[in-house]
Amino acid sequence: MIIFGGSAGETLAVRVSLLTGAKLGKVKRQRFPDGEQYLKIEEDIKGQEVVFIHPLGGRPDELIMEYMLTMDAFKSASPKTISVVIPYFAYARQDARFHPGEALSFHLVAKLLEQAGASKIYTIDVHLQRVPSLKEVFKIPAINLTAVPQIAEYINRVFQPKNPIIIGPDDESEQWAKVAAAKIKTDYAVLQKTRFSSTEVKVKVKAGEGVNVKGRDAIIIDDIISTGNTIVEAANLVRKAGARKIYVGCTHPVLSLNALPLMYSNGIEGVVGTDTFAGPISFVSVAPVIAEALKKK
């Protein structure tokens, strides 16, 4: 097995190569004077099992083009298989045509990744909301890994919450909230979110349900923190309901606009994310999660 990191996945690729003992492949990446990307694989990969680790965070359009060029270069060199690891799957949130005339981004990007020649795809805590399974967007084997147990373990060990309860801020977050709750052996509650725009949400307690947070530390778990508005809404709700301290964990700390100061200035005590989207709160690495999955293949 030989591992290559895309330009946003180099550190992660080094970590996975150390954990698996697999060789790290070299790639030459340059820009032509007109801004176009140039790419060359500098390894003999003929007959080899290639793994390409390529998160799509931060500059997704450019990274998708880099992915296409890298896959073309791989295919020209006759590897046995090409497994791609997309730790952060950009465009997954536009998983429906909410209004007539909109592009169906998730499905389109999935098709591009697959048709570029991948044999198998791994991703991590991809935003599965209206699309319930990756089988609906991929024909090749597609595996959705999770980093939620590692995030819950970090929060428990580092923040040391007292009598914790896990909070999912919206319906789709139940899939992550229940994993976190099982990891730290506690209960969870799921709130109800209404989204009005990409920056406006409202979170409330579900009709007929309470939220048992009085005197307890609340740990809000979600897949993505983008603007931070979902987290702040959920935090304000649980504080009003009597929560003591509030901690937050997510897999993909996208942190758009002023998300981090917004959360801290709203009284959140600690926030942690992973290196699927490397940044200031990427305290948990997904490298062991990827390495384990690759060892199983």
Catalytic residues: 193
Q: Which of 230, 251, 282, 285 binds ligand R5P (CB under 6 A)?
A: 230
CB 172, min distance to ligand R5P, A:
6
Which among 49-57, 76-84, 207-215, 224-232 is the span making contact with ligand R5P, rule CB under 6 A?
Answer: 224-232
CB 182, min distance to ligand R5P, A:
19
Tell me if 60 contacts ligand R5P by CB under 6 A: no
Element (DSSP H or E) covering residue 260: helix 259-265
Element (DSSP H or E) covering residue 65: helix 60-76
CA distance 39 to 73: 8
Q: Which of 2, 221, 224, 294 binds ligand R5P (CB under 6 A)?
A: 224
Tell me if 229 contacts ligand R5P by CB under 6 A: yes
CA distance 37 to 164: 48
Of 40 and 130, CB closest to ligand R5P:
130
Tell me the two tokens of residue 89. 């799957």
CB 29, min distance to ligand R5P, A:
30
Tell me the two tokens of residue 189. 């509650």
Tell me if 217 contacts ligand R5P by CB under 6 A: no
C-alpha of 3 from chain center: 20
Site string for ligand R5P, 151-180 (x = CB under 6 A): -------------------x-xx-------
Q: How many residues bind ligand R5P (CB under 6 A)?
A: 15
CA distance 51 to 105: 25
At residue 20, what is the residue type?
Answer: T
Residue 127: exposed, middle, or buried by beta-carbon count in 10 A (0-12, 13-18, 19+)?
A: buried
Of 12 and 190, CB closest to ligand R5P:
190
Place of tokens 């990274």: 63
Residue 30: exposed, middle, or buried by beta-carbon count in 10 A (0-12, 13-18, 19+)?
A: exposed
Of 229 and 282, CB closest to ligand R5P:
229
Interface ranges with ligand R5P (CB under 6 A): 93, 127, 170, 172-173, 201, 222-230
